[in-house]
Amino acid sequence: MNWLADFFGDPANWSGPDGIPLRLAEHLEFAGLSLLLAMLVALPLGLWIGHTGRGALLVVLSANAARALPTLGLLVLVVLLMGVGTIAPVLIPLVALAVPPILVNTYEGIRGVDADLRDAAYGMGLRGGQVLGRVLVPVALPLILLGLRTAAIQVVATATVAAYVGLGGLGRYIIDGLATKRYPLAVGGAVLVALLALAVQGLFGVLQRFLVSPGVSGRQKIR
């Protein structure tokens, strides 16, 4: 515990290029950007595959591949082949690992909507796109949010590991602390990363509460 006091009590850790605020901002920037790019790819694709039923095999394969691929290896390989300097080479693996959870959960969410509900929506005269937007997405939202949460947590963790190949962010404290045998630095960084992951988890709990319709989440009983 003394280590933590050393780390968090040191004013040098609170300002400048190696200060906690800046490192946290960097971490959020990489993680947020990767998550955004992954969402742009995976959400429309998952909605389309779930709605049309075409390409379901792709979803299963991507989920299995993402679980088996070692993040550290992928990061190191892509950055080695593409070169350091810009952040694009680091973003590629981050995005690649964030896409499958969003894709799988969006697809499963849409596909799992009660067939009667879907038929009723068509029976009321809604068209394909309207059925998707007004019925399927709201009902599938808890699973879609679960996919986004999994992806966000994955991205926060992978961005930490990415400090090894020269990315900034909170992982720097861990990697630098290990490299220079300054253990308080590494532990401080680890605690910060863990807190960030918990904050992300909490944020999605709040989002779930506000975005999911009370009728879907079961908070309001339908008579």
Applying CB under 8 A, the residues found at the interface with another protein are: 64-65, 67-74, 76-77, 80-81, 115, 153, 156-157, 160-161, 164-165, 171, 174-175, 177-178, 183, 186-187, 189-191, 193-194, 197-198, 200-201
Query: Which residues have C-beta within 8 Å of that of residue 85, sequence separation ≥ 6?
Result: none
Q: How far is the CB of 115 from another protein (least distance, A)?
A: 5
Q: How far is the CB of 37 from another protein (least distance, A)?
A: 20
Q: How far is the CB of 71 from another protein (least distance, A)?
A: 7
DSSP string of the chain, one letter each residue = -HHHHHHHH-GGGGSSTTSHHHHHHHHHHHHHHHHHHHHHHHHHHHHHHHHH-TTHHHHHHHHHHHHHS-HHHHHHHHHHHH-SSSSHHHHHHHHHHHHHHHHHHHHHHHHTS-HHHHHHHHHTT--HHHIIIIIIHHHHHHHHHHHHHHHHHHHHHHHHHGGGGT--STHHHHHHHHHTT-HHHHHHHHHHHHHHHHHHHHHHHHHHHHHS-HHHHTSS---
Q: How far is the CB of 14 from another protein (least distance, A)?
A: 20
Q: Is the Cβ of residue 5 or residue 65 nearer to another protein in the bound state?
A: 65
Q: Is the Cβ of residue 109 or residue 169 nearer to another protein in the bound state?
A: 169
Q: Is the Cβ of residue 109 or residue 188 nearer to another protein in the bound state?
A: 188
Q: Is the Cβ of residue 14 or residue 183 nearer to another protein in the bound state?
A: 183
Tokens, residue 125: 């005269």
Q: Is the Cβ of residue 40 or residue 72 nearer to another protein in the bound state?
A: 72
Q: How far is the CB of 21 from another protein (least distance, A)?
A: 19
Q: Rounded to an integer, what distance in angstroms lies between the CA atom of residue 44 and that of residue 22?
A: 33
Q: How far is the CB of 44 from another protein (least distance, A)?
A: 26
Q: How far is the CB of 105 from another protein (least distance, A)?
A: 14
Closest CA to 24 of 208, 199, 205: 199
Q: Is the Cβ of residue 40 or residue 61 nearer to another protein in the bound state?
A: 61
Q: Is the Cβ of residue 122 or residue 183 nearer to another protein in the bound state?
A: 183
